[in-house]
A = this chain, B = another copy of it.
């Protein structure tokens, strides 16, 4: 808005969020200004909390408020199964599914040579130490099914195969509730490759 640099600045900063365009950012700013000082302070306090208290788990690089995250510090988790994910948000998605009771390793991204993200930019050294320390019977690759994610999975598999008995990856296939008609070819291709007996005994 003409003559209101601080308002415009807030709009610019808020529109850096994924899925927030300049229009929604402006609506957010008006919302804050209408709700007043307290609403802005609430947000500032919450942001300072993020900045000051959230740090990576020393073992798995998940988000944490202590030295170890809530998974690494939970003795009931199965310490013999390791699931490798790209980001903390992927870990959260896995946890929501609820089946996996093992522990995680968060890579902090995926290999992407074009963006200058090589193996050194990911938490691979600490993964290797954890694997070398032994004790894992299975490593589950849960990187994203993108070109970079697949490349990352291959890289991690090579690290793991000599030390872990079983290296697996998430199944690709038809998503629950999805319709074949609207599914992309490569997913259908993967679903066909991965087909299982109808009477399946897990």
Residues on A facing B (Cβ under 8 Å):
1-7, 9-10, 12-14, 16-20, 24, 26-34, 37, 39-44, 46-54, 63-66, 69-70, 87-89, 92
Contact = CB atoms under 8 A, between A and B. Distances in A.
- The winner among A1, A70, A92 for most chain B CB atoms within 10 A is A1
A20 to B, nearest CB: 8
A9 B46 contact: yes
Nearest to A24: B19
Contacts of A19: 24, 27
B4 A46 contact: no
Nearest to A11: B46
Contacts of A18: 27-28, 31
Contacts of A87: 30, 34
A86 to B, nearest CB: 11
A95 to B, nearest CB: 8
A4, A28, A30, A39 — which one has the most chain B CB atoms within 10 A of its CB?
A4
Contacts of A7: 50, 54, 63
Nearest to A38: B51
